[in-house]
Amino acid sequence: MDASPPAAGRPSVALSLAEAVCLSLAATGATHGWSIVKELEPDAELGAVWSLSRQLTYRAVEQLVAKGLLERRGLAPGRGQGKVILAVTPEGSRVVACWLDTPVEHIRDVRTEGLLKLLLRERAGLDNTAFLRVQQDALRPIFARLVDADHDPVDLPGLLRREQARAVQRFLAAASGVAEAD
């Protein structure tokens, strides 16, 4: 994957979050299902953000194979139960690149999908500076509506949404500073 600025558009293949994350892990070096499972355990870097059970991980891998985005390439050598080697297809590479370059559409998705994309982009050697700028631009109308507008001070759900929007706005600004420093 190259470090070019994020591309607009959506992948041509619909992916669940589990499929997108598993495909991204395969694209960034996970060579078999078990290595993907380990990456998504709660005590792993990605698993601390979003974890997935072994069964759901293998189901996502099976779905990616069925969609032609991953393929099996034999067994890994070694002792113990044979691990099936996985390889990302050319279409899978295109789909994962598009997914990693597409900003999330809702404030609530920044905590999980947005953070996963940032971490997976780092693993892929992609520059997050341009992606963070695109992400901020994508959420700018929501920020304007929730943060900058006048609101009823006793509207508790509105207050929570406004404070979450402010937190995400601060997070994206801070993450941009970190990305630029790298």
- CATH number for the domain spanning 164: value is 1.10.10.10
170 inside domain:
yes
The string over 45-58, giving b where at least 16 C-beta atoms fall within 10 Å of a residue's C-beta and e elsewhere, is ebeebbebeeeebb
Model pLDDT, residue 79? 61
Please state the separation of Cα 90 from the chain's center in Å: 19
Looking at residue 107, what DSSP letter applies? G
In Å, how far from its chain's centre is CA 115? 7
pLDDT at 154: 80
**Is there a domain that residue 5 lies in?**
no
pLDDT of residue 135: 97
**3-class secondary structure, 32:** strand
Q: Does residue 3 sit within a domain?
A: no
pTM for the whole structure? 0.87
Q: Is residue 161 part of a domain?
A: yes
Cα 96 to Cα 28: distance, rounded to the nearest angstrom: 10
Res 159: pLDDT: 86
Reported in sequence order, the residue ranges of the chain that DSSP labels E, i.e. its strands, are 70-75, 84-88
Residue 30: closest CA among 3, 57, 59, 12: 57
Q: Is residue 144 part of a domain?
A: yes
In a domain, 166, yes or no: yes
| Residue 11, in any domain of the structure | no
Give the per-residue pLDDT at 141: 94
Q: What is the mean pLDDT of each run of 10 residues along the chain (182 residues)?
A: 46 89 96 94 96 97 97 75 87 97 96 97 95 97 85 82 94 91 78
Owning domain of residue 138: 17-181
- What's the structural domain count of the chain? 1
Q: Is residue 85 part of a domain?
A: yes
pLDDT at residue number 80: 59
